[in-house]
Amino acid sequence: MIVFAFVVVVLAVSYGFGWFSCGYRREGLLLLALGTLVFAPTFAAHVAAQGAPAAGLPDLVGALKATPGCLGVETARTSSGKQVIFAWFEDKKAALAWYYSETHLAVMKRFAPPSPPGQPTRAPLADVPDDGTPILAIASLTPIDPSQAAAGAPPFSQIAIELYRPLPGGLALGGRFAPATVKVPGLRIIPSPQAPQEKK
């Protein structure tokens, strides 16, 4: 079941990003592999909740956090039912460190189809400037009840991997959503007001 879910995700995302067409196969692979890695715990938890084994999956979120230059990882569930993972990288070099990490390459080797001979490839993140700016990767997935899915359909209605960079400005009172190590120009950081002391 878990392997089938991964294969479905691989095929669906690779098709959506033009995996089988020329030019963007390499970037499609990067996004596909990132999506596969960050959502592996979601699928594993879903299967485990139904009493099935998790097929020896590694702690992929933990591996992501251990990647040099990964500044932090957050997970969330939105009011619309999306399961979301936020991963902050120090810069393009750090994002590529994750791409070329042992865990990431092992999962790509396991689930990604081989490259067609003679097909042109592009370097991962070829269009992302290498200027030291942090990168936020947001992976989102909307699972569906397997009992309501059509036979052979993927166990989700939506999946996306999106990349963002911080804009100048903003305000943080008593803390931030992003890790404190994410540099944001012009961000105003205000300490949290302390609770009033009780009179003795």
Per-residue pLDDT tens for 93-109? 999 998 899 888 887 77
Q: Which amino acid is residue 127, in one-letter code?
A: D
Tokens of 117: 């001979």
pLDDT at 190 over 60: yes
pLDDT digits (tens, 9 = 90+) for 140-172: 889 888 777 777 777 788 888 899 999 999 999
- 41 band by pLDDT with thresholds 50, 70 and 90: very low
Whole-number percent of the chain with pLDDT over 90 = 37
State residue 198's pLDDT score.
55
- Residue carrying structure tokens 């963007």: 24
* 22 pLDDT above the threshold of 70: no
Three-state DSSP class for residue 131: coil
Domain boundaries, the chain: 2-113+126-168+177-183
- Per-residue DSSP letter, 50: T
pLDDT per position as a tens digit, 71-80: 999 999 999 9
**CA 196, CA 186: separation in Å to the nearest integer?**
30
> Is residue 44 very low, low, confident or very high in pLDDT (cuts 50, 70, 90)?
very low
pLDDT at 114: 67
d(CA 22, CA 24): 6
Is the pLDDT confidence value at 124 over 80? yes
Residues in Cβ contact with 141 at an 8 Å cutoff, skipping those fewer than 6 apart:
35, 39, 42, 82, 83, 84, 156, 158, 159, 160
